[in-house]
Amino acid sequence: MDFSIILPTRGRKEPLLKSIQSLLDQADNPDKIEVLLGMDNDDVDSVEYVKAEILPKYKNVKLYMFPSYGYGKLNMYANSLAALSTGYWLILFNDDAIIKTKSWDAIINEYKSHPMPLLRMLVEKMSHPFALFPIVKRKWFETVGTLSSYSHIDRFIYNVNSNIDWNNKHLWVVDVPIDVLHDRFDITGNNNDETYQRAVSSYNEGQPENPWSDDYPPAFTAVLTATNKLIHYINTELGGNMRYLPIESSQPVQKIVTQSHGVH
């Protein structure tokens, strides 16, 4: 496969169908695309819809079941699906996102010569500092060993790549001419559903005392460690000569038991 679409989903039947249709209909070679759905065991209605209405029509859509980890552990769905995937490129996508650009797959394949890029698509009606729908090579995932160590996967991948050789950042974080509509309530007024509301309520950036937050201090160590793995690959396999990033030793972290929010 050329492309693996990593797509955790919950409680969105028709939006999910529109998302899948847009990905396959706008591609030049839909047969070279696999869509990996991660669904919760307790989302019975949505699962039955996928089995009845989506899987019979799209042979390259695959369904994988999970316990209900919740939005706070979104990376657990994504990491598992990435490990099950077979594509050269991995794309994290949403069940309320619609790709608008024709031949998007051909456009992405033009960047195969970039060694370890994070490709960022353009999201209509909003500007975002990271990469809402990040695209990386399978080799990136294999080298780092994870798509993300925390729930905001776009932020993790961006932070890892933006740490590499800042003077040549254009090689590692690349904007590509592909338009996506993120059809969520705060942008378009659509999909103001339970999934959206619970995702908003479990938003955990900027909370350094929350162990599920991107800003919990060990998360910074995870980012720097991942960056150094990429640097090691670039130096040893691609003839690079980059310095490794220093990782300061931190105090032992007390384990805190929390409950997941149960949705994503």
Q: What is the pLDDT of residues 168-197, one digit of tens each?
A: 878 899 999 999 998 776 677 776 777 666
What's the confidence (pLDDT) of residue 71? 81
At 182 the pLDDT is 87
Pair 120, 180: CB distance under 8 Å: no
pLDDT: which is higher, 70 or 39: 39
- Contact yes or no for 3/105 (Cβ under 8 A): yes
Is 50 exceeded by the pLDDT of residue 150? Answer: yes
Q: Give me the pLDDT at residue 41, please.
A: 97
Of 29, 22, 27, 26, whose CA–CA distance to 7 is shortest? Answer: 22
Rounded Cα–Cα distance for residues 16 and 2 (Å): 21
Q: What is the pLDDT of residue 263?
A: 30
pLDDT at residue 186 in the model: 66
pLDDT of amino acid 254? 39
State how far the Cα of 248 lies from the Cα of 5, in Å rounded to an integer.
Answer: 35
Q: How confident is the model at residue 202 (pLDDT cuts 50, 70, 90)?
A: low
For the sheet with 173-182, list strands across it: 61-66, 33-40, 3-8, 89-92, 135-137, 118-123, 173-182, 97-99
Q: pLDDT at residue 55 above 90?
A: yes
221-240 confidence digits (pLDDT tens) = 899 999 999 999 999 999 98
Fold for the domain defined by 3-237: Spore Coat Polysaccharide Biosynthesis Protein SpsA; Chain A (3.90.550)
Nearest to 75 by CA among 184, 170, 152, 161: 152
pTM given for the model: 0.87
Top-confidence residue, 260 or 110: 110
Give the rounded percent of residues in the chain with a pLDDT score beyond 90.
66
Position 198 pLDDT exceeds 90? no
Which band of pLDDT confidence, cut at 50, 70 and 90, is reported for residue 21? very high
Residue 165: burial class (beta carbons within 10 Å; 0-12, 13-18, 19+): middle
Task: Look at residue 235 in the predicted model and tell me its pLDDT.
Answer: 94
* Count of CB atoms situated within 10 Å of the CB of 81: 24
